[in-house]
Structure 1
Amino acid sequence: MVGTAARVTVAACIAFYLCRYGLDAAVMALYATFTVVALGVLARIPGSGRQRAVTTLWVLPAGTALVVLGTLLAVRTWAAVLGMLVIGFLVAYAGSAGPRIAGAAPGMQLLYILPCFPPYAPGTLDQRVYGFVLGAVLLAAAQVLILPEPVTPPFRALLADAAEAAAALADHHDGPAPERTLARARTAADRLRPSRVPPADLPASPTRAHKAMAHAAETVRTLLAQLAALHGAAAPRGGYHAETVGLLDGIAAALRQAARALRAGRRPGAEPSVAALQAGLDPVRTRRAVAALERLGVDDRLVFLRRRALVVQAADSAVVLVLATRLLLGDRGVGADRAGHAFAYARTPAWVLWWRRLSTHFTPRSVIFQNACRFALGLAAARAVAGVLDLSHGFWVLLATLTLTRTTSLETRWVVRQALIGTLIGAAAAGVLLALVEERTTVYALVLPVVMLAAFTLGPLRGPAWAQGGFTLVVATLFAQVAPVTWQLAPTRFADVLTGSVIGLACGLLAWPRGAGSELRRSMAGVCTAVADAVGRTASRVVEPSAGPADGAGIVALNRALVLAEESLAQYQSEPREETARQPDWPAVLAAGAHARRGERLLPGRPGRIGDGPVGGWLRREAGRTAEGYRALAERLRTGGPDGPRGAPTDPDAPQLLNIHGLLEVVPPPPPDTDTDRAAAAALLVDAVVWLDTLTADLRRIHGEMAEMARRAEPPGPRLA
């Protein structure tokens, strides 16, 4: 907080003094100063000092366009209002492209708000633009030179650390790995959780490299969990079988190649390669699948099958991680690899990736869309009121609306109450200052840095009351140096903040007043529906590859559901509430979506063909039963209350385990070693069974959590005397 206040104070004061007293350009001084405040305080640009500076400089073209549009549209109130509605929505909605843009969006709003008020003065446009550019450049320099935020490890380094931790786990061949190695693996996986990665480093944009980074992060976390589970299981006497040891060695070698490439950050050549690992994986997969099917009659809970499949699943994850590494480093040829079906986005044009991201949230069911509408309507209403009433400092009304509107009516009411108290106190202090100092601008020039540093330090630390009170003093000392003012500026400031607060409060009450609470269950229900669709699609293509196109459309729909749900959950967790109702295990729903996506990416492209015979019929039936379970869960989530457990399932409705006995009735005898086609089909069947078993376990866990919520919510029965 102190660093931000110091950077903004130094940059703003240099900009103001240079323009006001050095160049005698009052308009340029105001625009330079408010640019620093907008992008340094109002915006929440994440990252290190260098990352913030780069983001600040990147917004120069967009900021210039906003200043020009605001100046030209100020010609009429209706034009300014319409511009505020459209631009306010677009700037807020642009936050869907990533955390850096989302962090800069509030400050960018102010760049249109400031020039869109009378006087209509296109002749001063050059001063306005020069002031904006000067303020942005000075702020960027201050972010690098004055108490800069520390540099964090790049995301590629986190991926490399995780790959090396997984390689260390794969190096152990004799039972449980040492606790130090397991702890290193847990730490590496935890550092890749989206909630633990600094927002500026998070691969959240729709670019191909960021999608590959996110794919690699999900895969390496899965790989670490698989290897930890492998070493946590009881190892056979004498250590692992030779083929298991060979596969683990191949995994470790491939992961170390990937880690070296990630640290070097270079365009890949021959390494990292999956050729050696894939060559060793295929025969192990088929032999283990045949062995698992031989034991299926005494393995009705699939314990043996899961254990036999762990090292194969880990090798699969290692293959995907290596290919994702090659893709994020620029090798788009991974789409032609044997596992290339998992990387449909490698061949997708960049504009399509951006369109998918931007169109994903263009729905009233998206919290980003809701927030953009809320802010755009509030700012447009504030501009209309300021224009109709001809307020002398109308932009303060919009500034109050922008800074005080929150995603829930509860939080908006609290913030408005605090802000009005702070503004009243700040206005009283400003009135006293203006009455005592009058027109002695030297005093204001000396006081300005002290007031700025105090306001921008105490505001974030002590809350909205201190922020609004301090900013009121900053505004008074600024405007007193630009034009003659009296103590009446203070009550004008309070009246404008009150007007903006009322408008912001009205928008909070009328536009989605519950915030993400009204969307969370619906978005999670959407994930469950998408999982059900993915299960059906994948099972059909596993049984008969020609059953559906491999165009990635299904994964796009599942990704869309997951993105909407993740945004809803993140916002819900950030919103304060009067009382926090117990929620279902929402991360388990998201995990089920990730498991469904992983299966749809991997299984249909595997060698082997099950065919639409008895075994294929069993797989379709079990997949259909699992899909129906997720659809039933989706319906319960939609019909239940947004915060309560109404509609939660009860114990008799619990999803059943896979019908392994039904599979035993139709599965053919194990194939001989010479029948490679049947062996490949057996391996594909086992992979599909393990995948369905995982999704069924996810469903049962979610169901059990909701049933427990329902039991706890039931009123106690009558007590006997």
Structure 2
Amino acid sequence: MSPQQGQPPRSGSRHAAGGPVRAAQRRLRYVLKHGRQGLRGQRTVVGTAVRVTAAACIAFYLCRYGFDRTVMSVYATFTVVSLGVLARIPGSGRQRTATTLTALPAGLALITLGTLLAVQTWAAVLGMLVIGFMVAYAGTTGPRIAGAAPGMQLLYILPCFPPYAPDALGQRLSGFLLGAALLALAQRFVLPEPDTPPYRGLLADAADAAAVLADRHGGPAPMAELARAHAAGDALRPSQVPPADRPASPGLRHKAMGHAAETARTLLARLEALHASAGPHTYRPETVALLQGISATARETAGALREGKRLEPGEGPSTAALQSLLAPARTHRAVDTLVRLNSDDRLAYLRRRSLVVQAADSAVVLALATRLLLGDRSVDRNPAGHAFTYARTHVLELWWHRLSAHLTPRSVIFQNACRFALGLAAARAIAGLLDLQHGFWVLLATLTLTRTTSLETWSAVRQALIGTLVGAVLAGGLLALVHDRITVYALVLPVVMLTAFTAGPLRGLAWAQGGFTLVVATLFAQVAPVTWQLAPVRLLDVLVGSVIGLTCGLLAWPRGAGSEVRRSMAALCSAIADAIGQTTTRVVEHSDVVGTPDTTVLMVNRALGLARESLAQYQCEPRHDVAGQPDWPAVLVAAADARRGERLLPGRPGRITHHEVGTWLRHAAGNTAADYRALAQHLRRHQGSPHERPQHLDIRGLLEVAPPIPRDGSDHDPRAVAAALLIDSVIWLDALTADLNRIHQEL
């Protein structure tokens, strides 16, 4: 159609729309808008890049041009890069600053050892083997130390190469201290990561949610309160808590925090199940009294957690009132249940009647764990028999338990530490024997490219070589073009650093390696005269380090946690079976002859720690065969239930003196333990699904041997107290059987 027929010319369309200038403005507004949104979404990456660039450049310029100390400038800059980029220190700005300052003594020791051991290649290699293992293995003690470990490795790698210069140790240590101090200041004041809610606050929120839920004594299901309780319980899951805030260290305070969190989640789960099963009916007076006691104890616990005041023995949330209600409720429930079980052999009634008692038990334990968390170690003498045996354990013993728990080839942390130590030692030996010009880069490549599986290592090596090749070409061109004009390098360094440390985490390993190659070239050009040949040297060193890392990945546990997770879960099932047998023996005999609270809980804790670590690594590794895996978290839940029974049952008042009842309980526990051992065997064999389903508890067999107990008897009647202990044990075994059924459904 021609313009004369009514169609306006195309040029008119552009003018009507504003022309190319308006189009460019709209495009610019679009880029700025979406760029700001992208930066907000990547605030952590951008903030880290800005902090590291600012601290590294200030440290370098001050030492290189202010003090004219080249060695000091290199160590100050690489300290910032190692602890700010290579390390993955978690937490808020305050927490990262505290972790950086806490690492100062270890950093001074590592630099000193590296300097002194550089006297001979064999000494440096041996030191790399030992120190590399120790630094990597230290990650067992918590996320903060684990996050700082890669950066700490670099602090030993940097000084362990020739020239052997003990006279330069002063400059090296001064540079390290300056770099660490500047990084700490940047982490605290330059775009700091926001503070997160303290873990005590999460525990207090959970206790408050439990109190609100316990205030409801009937009527329709309180949907709002249930939603709040569910959210509070989820907030305590380790996967929902920032790594720096998790109670993961071996110290007494963190152990008490973990105990309180596990108990708080159990309390909320029991109260949620109680309201879900009750329907619109009104609770009995006995149940209402227990719920009121739970509410009062939970509120007092929440108040103590929020106040955070250190407690002396006997201070803090009291459990006396709730325990005085709990003892008769337990015996009444037990006697009433033994009568009702004649017509309810599926335990539905028993489970329903046990929910409020288990909730009250959990409220007592939560209050006691809170008192221990706040400094009251007298909770281990609680008359109800709750096990806080670690309350009197010396801190060094607690740390030894944690460190020794992973000293086994079955631990993925041990495997990773060995893999890194062997790789770094091999890289140091090759760099020394071949007298590579920049052998430091070989070890740095080995450190940064070694992964937990050979498949992942090969993928990382491929990307790194591509990125290093591109970066080497650009660095060679920059060095050839600028040559010895140091001012240009000084002006370019902040831009190169900021770009590299931003693009690397956002765009992938290839960008990170290419960007770091440019950073190294720009930095070293200001330290000593260099030519474009520095770029191919860097590429060669990365290639050598990549081959070493790939070789270690192929030789040392190449499948990562793929097979280890099954072994650790099988070992955990065996530990659960052993705990069931030992706990039942102590309940029946009421003695510490077979198994003690310390040994049984430690046995389960050790297996549980290995299983958790292997599962965490397994979930982080890329895999093709993800189908057909068991419900691994259900195995962890079963272990927690086994540990809870050991902590609660043996110390309960009462004794099962009736021989036939004790025999039945031993037999029932033996069947449950046998099912867990069969599951362990199945997991070790890597074959299909188990042929036999878990055996249900033989309640009719119990009723045939259980002696009659008068329903109007005293709460302190030994027969009633023994019945309460028996019913608690039955509920515990029933929970372990239910856990086993859930696991079997996924096989």
Same fold by TM-score greater than 0.5? yes
Q: Is the 8 A contact 1:219 1:321 kept in 2?
A: yes
Aligned equivalent of 2:489: 444
CA distance in 2, matches of 1:353, 1:176: 47
C-alpha offsets along residues 63-93 of structure 1, whole Å, 9 cap, x if unaligned?
A: 0000000000000000000000000000000
Aligned match for 1:577, one of 608, 623, 636: 623
Do the aligned partners of residues 522 and 579 (structure 1) sit closer, same or farther apart at CA in structure 2, a change above 3 Å counting?
closer
Q: Is the 8 A contact 1:49 1:144 kept in 2?
A: yes
1:244 equivalent to 2:276? Answer no
Aligned equivalent of 1:58: 102
CA distance in 1, matches of 2:472, 2:526: 17
Q: State how many pairs are aligned.
A: 698
Query: Radius of gyration: which is bigger?
Result: 2
Aligned equivalent of 1:431: 476
1:161 equivalent to 2:205? Answer yes
CA distance in 1, matches of 2:511, 2:48: 16
Aligned equivalent of 1:418: 463
Aligned match for 2:668, one of 617, 622, 634: 622
Aligned equivalent of 1:307: 352
Could you say what secondary structure the match of 1:160 adopts?
Answer: helix
CA distance in 2, matches of 1:648, 1:368: 29
Aligned match for 1:253, one of 296, 315, 318: 296
Aligned equivalent of 2:706: 667
Aligned equivalent of 1:686: 727
CA distance in 2, matches of 1:107, 1:423: 21
Do the aligned partners of residues 612 and 504 (structure 1) sit closer, same or farther apart at CA in structure 2, a change above 3 Å counting?
farther
Aligned equivalent of 2:13: none
Aligned equivalent of 1:472: 517
Aligned equivalent of 2:739: 698
CA distance in 2, matches of 1:216, 1:405: 38
Q: Is the 8 A contact 2:385 2:648 kept in 1?
A: no
* Structure 1 stretch displaced more, 557-566 or 604-613: 604-613
CA distance in 1, matches of 2:563, 2:733: 31
The 5 Å alignment of 1:79-94 reads 79-94=123-138
CA distance in 2, matches of 1:175, 1:532: 41
CA distance in 1, matches of 2:55, 2:374: 37
Aligned equivalent of 2:241: 197
C-alpha offsets along residues 668-699 of structure 1, whole Å, 9 cap, x if unaligned?
A: 11235136111100101110011111111111
CA distance in 2, matches of 1:175, 1:598: 31
CA distance in 1, matches of 2:462, 2:162: 30
* Structure 1 stretch displaced more, 607-616 or 501-510: 607-616
Could you say what secondary structure the match of 1:561 adopts?
Answer: helix
Could you say what secondary structure the match of 1:301 adopts?
Answer: coil
Q: CA deviation at 1:581?
A: 3.0
Amino acid at match of 2:745: G
Amino acid at match of 1:541: R
Q: CA deviation at 1:235?
A: 4.4
Could you say what secondary structure the match of 1:483 adopts?
Answer: coil
CA distance in 1, matches of 2:702, 2:683: 32
Do the aligned partners of residues 358 and 339 (structure 1) sit closer, same or farther apart at CA in structure 2, a change above 3 Å counting?
farther
Aligned-pair identity in percent equals 72
CA distance in 2, matches of 1:166, 1:105: 39
CA distance in 2, matches of 1:548, 1:513: 41
Could you say what secondary structure the match of 1:661 adopts?
Answer: helix
CA distance in 2, matches of 1:558, 1:64: 38
1:224 equivalent to 2:263? Answer no
The 5 Å alignment of 1:314-393 reads 314-339=359-384, 341-393=386-438
Could you say what secondary structure the match of 2:526 adopts?
Answer: helix
Q: CA deviation at 1:551?
A: 4.3
Amino acid at match of 2:696: L
Q: CA deviation at 1:648?
A: 2.2
CA distance in 1, matches of 2:522, 2:658: 80
Amino acid at match of 2:734: D
Aligned match for 2:608, one of 520, 543, 562: 562
TM-score by length of structure 1 reads 0.96
CA distance in 2, matches of 1:78, 1:377: 14
1:75 equivalent to 2:115? Answer no
CA distance in 2, matches of 1:310, 1:81: 60
Aligned equivalent of 1:712: none
C-alpha offsets along residues 140-184 of structure 1, whole Å, 9 cap, x if unaligned?
A: 000011111010001000000000001110000014442111110
Aligned equivalent of 1:711: none
Amino acid at match of 1:581: A
Amino acid at match of 2:656: I
Q: CA deviation at 1:215?
A: 0.4
Aligned equivalent of 2:680: 634
Q: Is the 8 A contact 1:592 1:698 kept in 2?
A: yes
In the alignment, structure 2 segments of 5+ residues that lack a partner are: 1-44
CA distance in 2, matches of 1:176, 1:191: 26
CA distance in 1, matches of 2:280, 2:317: 32
* Structure 1 stretch displaced more, 228-237 or 277-286: 228-237
Q: Is the 8 A contact 2:460 2:509 kept in 1?
A: yes
Q: Is the 8 A contact 1:538 1:600 kept in 2?
A: yes
Do the aligned partners of residues 267 and 59 (structure 1) sit closer, same or farther apart at CA in structure 2, a change above 3 Å counting?
same
Q: Is the 8 A contact 1:175 1:232 kept in 2?
A: no
Q: CA deviation at 1:582?
A: 2.8
CA distance in 2, matches of 1:587, 1:108: 33
Q: CA deviation at 1:611?
A: 2.3
Aligned equivalent of 2:327: 282
Q: Is the 8 A contact 2:597 2:647 kept in 1?
A: no
CA distance in 2, matches of 1:505, 1:612: 64
Q: Is the 8 A contact 2:579 2:646 kept in 1?
A: yes
CA distance in 1, matches of 2:658, 2:289: 35
CA distance in 1, matches of 2:657, 2:431: 70
Could you say what secondary structure the match of 1:93 adopts?
Answer: helix
Q: Is the 8 A contact 1:169 1:177 kept in 2?
A: no
CA root-mean-square deviation: 1.0
C-alpha offsets along residues 615-665 of structure 1, whole Å, 9 cap, x if unaligned?
A: 00000000000000000100110111xxxxx24213xx1112100111111
Amino acid at match of 1:694: A
CA distance in 1, matches of 2:362, 2:174: 53
Amino acid at match of 1:321: L
Amino acid at match of 1:542: V
Q: CA deviation at 1:548?
A: 2.8
Q: CA deviation at 1:236?
A: 7.0
Aligned equivalent of 1:590: 636
Aligned equivalent of 1:709: none
CA distance in 2, matches of 1:548, 1:377: 42
Amino acid at match of 2:664: W
The 5 Å alignment of 1:180-191 reads 180-191=224-235
C-alpha offsets along residues 505-548 of structure 1, whole Å, 9 cap, x if unaligned?
A: 00000000000112000000011001100110111111111243
Aligned match for 2:196, one of 152, 173, 192: 152
